Amino acid sequence: MNHHPAARLTRAATLILAALPLLALAACFRPSPPVHFYVLAEPPVRAVPADVMGNPPGVSPRVGPRVGILPITLPGYLQRPQMVVRQGDSVDIRREDYHRWGEELGTGMARVLSVAMTNNLADIQGVVMPLRIGAPVDLRVQVEARRFEGSPEGEVYLEALWSVQKEGQALREGHFLSHRRAGPGMASLVETQSVLLEELGAELAAGVRAVTVSGEPGV
Protein backbone atom coordinates (compact mmCIF):
# COMPACT_ATOMS: atom_id res chain seq x y z
CA MET A 1 0.00 0.00 0.00
CA ASN A 2 1.27 3.46 -0.91
CA HIS A 3 1.67 5.59 2.20
CA HIS A 4 3.68 8.30 0.52
CA PRO A 5 2.75 11.74 2.01
CA ALA A 6 2.04 13.16 -1.44
CA ALA A 7 -0.46 10.39 -2.12
CA ARG A 8 -2.28 11.04 1.15
CA LEU A 9 -2.49 14.77 0.34
CA THR A 10 -3.85 13.98 -3.09
CA ARG A 11 -6.60 11.75 -1.63
CA ALA A 12 -7.48 14.43 0.95
CA ALA A 13 -7.72 17.09 -1.73
CA THR A 14 -9.94 14.81 -3.81
CA LEU A 15 -12.30 14.27 -0.86
CA ILE A 16 -12.50 18.01 -0.20
CA LEU A 17 -13.28 18.77 -3.82
CA ALA A 18 -15.95 16.08 -3.84
CA ALA A 19 -17.54 17.53 -0.71
CA LEU A 20 -17.71 21.11 -1.98
CA PRO A 21 -20.87 20.64 -4.10
CA LEU A 22 -22.59 19.00 -1.13
CA LEU A 23 -21.64 21.90 1.13
CA ALA A 24 -22.89 24.39 -1.43
CA LEU A 25 -26.16 22.49 -1.74
CA ALA A 26 -26.59 22.45 2.03
CA ALA A 27 -26.05 26.21 2.14
CA CYS A 28 -28.82 26.68 -0.41
CA PHE A 29 -31.28 24.89 1.86
CA ARG A 30 -30.28 26.79 5.00
CA PRO A 31 -33.51 28.30 6.41
CA SER A 32 -33.81 32.09 6.23
CA PRO A 33 -34.49 34.08 9.40
CA PRO A 34 -38.22 34.48 10.11
CA VAL A 35 -39.90 37.63 8.82
CA HIS A 36 -41.58 39.76 11.51
CA PHE A 37 -44.55 41.99 10.69
CA TYR A 38 -45.62 45.10 12.60
CA VAL A 39 -48.59 47.49 12.67
CA LEU A 40 -48.82 50.94 14.18
CA ALA A 41 -50.82 51.04 17.42
CA GLU A 42 -53.97 53.14 17.74
CA PRO A 43 -54.56 55.04 20.98
CA PRO A 44 -57.47 53.83 23.13
CA VAL A 45 -60.77 55.28 21.91
CA ARG A 46 -62.12 57.84 24.34
CA ALA A 47 -65.78 57.67 25.30
CA VAL A 48 -67.78 60.76 24.41
CA PRO A 49 -68.49 62.68 27.66
CA ALA A 50 -72.10 62.33 28.80
CA ASP A 51 -72.53 66.07 29.30
CA VAL A 52 -71.53 66.98 25.75
CA MET A 53 -74.92 66.23 24.24
CA GLY A 54 -76.81 65.13 27.34
CA ASN A 55 -76.57 61.47 26.33
CA PRO A 56 -74.71 58.53 27.89
CA PRO A 57 -71.14 57.87 26.72
CA GLY A 58 -70.95 55.93 23.48
CA VAL A 59 -74.48 56.68 22.25
CA SER A 60 -74.49 60.43 21.67
CA PRO A 61 -74.87 61.23 17.96
CA ARG A 62 -71.93 62.65 16.05
CA VAL A 63 -73.01 66.15 15.06
CA GLY A 64 -69.65 67.93 14.85
CA PRO A 65 -67.36 68.35 11.86
CA ARG A 66 -66.78 65.32 9.67
CA VAL A 67 -63.15 65.23 8.66
CA GLY A 68 -61.51 63.07 6.01
CA ILE A 69 -57.78 62.36 5.95
CA LEU A 70 -56.41 62.41 2.41
CA PRO A 71 -53.90 59.70 1.41
CA ILE A 72 -50.68 60.48 3.24
CA THR A 73 -47.69 61.47 1.12
CA LEU A 74 -44.48 59.62 2.01
CA PRO A 75 -40.88 60.09 0.84
CA GLY A 76 -39.78 57.49 -1.68
CA TYR A 77 -37.53 55.57 0.71
CA LEU A 78 -40.51 54.85 2.98
CA GLN A 79 -42.77 53.60 0.18
CA ARG A 80 -41.87 49.95 0.67
CA PRO A 81 -43.01 47.07 2.90
CA GLN A 82 -39.62 46.78 4.63
CA MET A 83 -39.03 48.92 7.69
CA VAL A 84 -36.30 51.54 7.44
CA VAL A 85 -33.78 52.22 10.20
CA ARG A 86 -31.79 55.43 10.47
CA GLN A 87 -29.36 56.51 13.17
CA GLY A 88 -30.10 60.10 14.21
CA ASP A 89 -29.35 62.56 11.42
CA SER A 90 -27.13 60.10 9.59
CA VAL A 91 -27.34 60.04 5.81
CA ASP A 92 -27.20 56.24 6.00
CA ILE A 93 -30.50 54.36 6.03
CA ARG A 94 -30.90 50.61 6.24
CA ARG A 95 -33.74 48.52 4.87
CA GLU A 96 -34.79 45.71 7.21
CA ASP A 97 -35.77 42.79 4.96
CA TYR A 98 -36.86 40.62 7.91
CA HIS A 99 -38.88 43.36 9.65
CA ARG A 100 -41.84 44.53 7.57
CA TRP A 101 -45.04 46.51 7.85
CA GLY A 102 -48.20 44.44 8.08
CA GLU A 103 -50.06 47.08 6.03
CA GLU A 104 -49.14 49.90 3.70
CA LEU A 105 -47.40 52.49 5.89
CA GLY A 106 -49.49 55.45 4.76
CA THR A 107 -52.69 53.48 5.43
CA GLY A 108 -51.54 52.65 8.95
CA MET A 109 -50.60 56.25 9.64
CA ALA A 110 -54.03 57.49 8.52
CA ARG A 111 -55.71 54.86 10.69
CA VAL A 112 -53.85 55.97 13.83
CA LEU A 113 -54.31 59.67 13.07
CA SER A 114 -58.06 59.25 12.60
CA VAL A 115 -58.46 57.76 16.09
CA ALA A 116 -56.11 60.29 17.70
CA MET A 117 -57.91 63.21 16.08
CA THR A 118 -61.37 61.89 16.93
CA ASN A 119 -60.27 61.51 20.56
CA ASN A 120 -59.13 65.13 20.63
CA LEU A 121 -62.35 66.37 19.02
CA ALA A 122 -64.73 64.35 21.20
CA ASP A 123 -65.96 67.41 23.09
CA ILE A 124 -67.21 69.04 19.87
CA GLN A 125 -68.47 65.75 18.44
CA GLY A 126 -65.95 65.69 15.62
CA VAL A 127 -65.28 62.46 13.77
CA VAL A 128 -62.28 61.74 11.59
CA MET A 129 -61.73 58.92 9.12
CA PRO A 130 -59.46 58.07 6.19
CA LEU A 131 -61.13 59.70 3.21
CA ARG A 132 -63.13 57.36 0.99
CA ILE A 133 -64.52 58.15 -2.44
CA GLY A 134 -68.03 59.52 -2.13
CA ALA A 135 -67.93 59.94 1.66
CA PRO A 136 -69.42 63.30 2.68
CA VAL A 137 -67.01 65.38 4.75
CA ASP A 138 -66.91 68.97 5.96
CA LEU A 139 -63.13 69.28 6.04
CA ARG A 140 -60.14 67.47 4.63
CA VAL A 141 -56.73 67.05 6.21
CA GLN A 142 -53.64 66.63 4.08
CA VAL A 143 -50.38 65.31 5.56
CA GLU A 144 -47.03 65.22 3.81
CA ALA A 145 -44.57 63.19 5.88
CA ARG A 146 -41.01 64.42 5.47
CA ARG A 147 -39.45 61.94 7.87
CA PHE A 148 -40.75 58.97 9.87
CA GLU A 149 -37.98 56.66 11.03
CA GLY A 150 -35.36 56.06 13.70
CA SER A 151 -33.68 53.11 15.35
CA PRO A 152 -34.11 50.83 18.37
CA GLU A 153 -32.49 52.43 21.42
CA GLY A 154 -32.13 55.62 19.40
CA GLU A 155 -34.13 58.71 18.52
CA VAL A 156 -37.26 58.29 16.41
CA TYR A 157 -38.41 61.26 14.33
CA LEU A 158 -41.66 62.37 12.75
CA GLU A 159 -41.68 65.47 10.59
CA ALA A 160 -44.69 66.47 8.51
CA LEU A 161 -46.36 69.38 6.76
CA TRP A 162 -50.13 69.51 7.15
CA SER A 163 -53.15 71.53 6.15
CA VAL A 164 -56.86 71.64 6.96
CA GLN A 165 -58.80 72.21 3.75
CA LYS A 166 -62.29 73.11 2.62
CA GLU A 167 -63.09 72.55 -1.05
CA GLY A 168 -59.41 72.55 -1.95
CA GLN A 169 -58.60 75.75 -0.05
CA ALA A 170 -56.20 75.55 2.89
CA LEU A 171 -57.76 77.14 5.98
CA ARG A 172 -54.97 76.19 8.39
CA GLU A 173 -51.42 74.98 7.77
CA GLY A 174 -48.65 73.75 10.02
CA HIS A 175 -45.25 72.10 10.34
CA PHE A 176 -44.91 69.27 12.87
CA LEU A 177 -41.58 68.00 14.16
CA SER A 178 -41.09 65.77 17.19
CA HIS A 179 -38.83 62.98 18.34
CA ARG A 180 -38.69 60.43 21.15
CA ARG A 181 -36.23 57.79 22.24
CA ALA A 182 -37.12 54.14 21.55
CA GLY A 183 -36.25 51.17 23.71
CA PRO A 184 -34.52 48.01 22.51
CA GLY A 185 -36.04 46.01 19.65
CA MET A 186 -38.03 46.80 16.54
CA ALA A 187 -41.34 46.53 18.42
CA SER A 188 -40.27 49.43 20.64
CA LEU A 189 -39.41 51.45 17.54
CA VAL A 190 -42.95 50.92 16.19
CA GLU A 191 -44.52 51.77 19.56
CA THR A 192 -42.55 55.03 19.63
CA GLN A 193 -43.64 55.86 16.10
CA SER A 194 -47.24 55.29 17.20
CA VAL A 195 -46.85 57.77 20.07
CA LEU A 196 -45.44 60.37 17.70
CA LEU A 197 -48.47 59.92 15.45
CA GLU A 198 -50.71 60.55 18.46
CA GLU A 199 -48.89 63.84 19.00
CA LEU A 200 -49.40 64.77 15.36
CA GLY A 201 -53.07 63.81 15.65
CA ALA A 202 -53.47 66.21 18.57
CA GLU A 203 -51.94 69.05 16.54
CA LEU A 204 -54.16 68.27 13.55
CA ALA A 205 -57.22 68.22 15.80
CA ALA A 206 -56.25 71.64 17.14
CA GLY A 207 -56.16 72.91 13.56
CA VAL A 208 -59.62 71.48 12.87
CA ARG A 209 -60.92 72.94 16.13
CA ALA A 210 -59.54 76.40 15.26
CA VAL A 211 -61.31 76.32 11.91
CA THR A 212 -64.57 75.09 13.43
CA VAL A 213 -64.64 77.49 16.38
CA SER A 214 -63.66 80.49 14.26
CA GLY A 215 -66.68 79.88 12.07
CA GLU A 216 -64.87 79.67 8.76
CA PRO A 217 -67.32 79.99 5.84
CA GLY A 218 -68.97 76.71 5.00
CA VAL A 219 -67.74 74.86 8.10
What digits encode the pLDDT tens for the residues 168-208?
A: 899 999 999 999 999 999 999 999 999 999 999 999 999 99
Asked whether the predicted pLDDT for residue 51 surpasses 50, the reply is: no
pLDDT of residue 53: 39
From 101, 78, 85, 117, select the one nearest 199 (Cα to Cα).
117
| Residue pLDDT, tens place only, 75-111 | 999 999 999 999 877 889 999 999 999 999 999 999 9
The mean pLDDT value of the chain amounts to 85
Residues 6+ away with beta carbon under 8 Å from 192: 150, 156, 180, 181, 182, 183
Which band of pLDDT confidence, cut at 50, 70 and 90, is reported for residue 1?
A: low
Cα–Cα distance for residue pair 78/41, rounded to 1 Å: 18
pLDDT of residue 64: 84
CATH 3.40.50.10610 fits 40-213, yes or no: yes
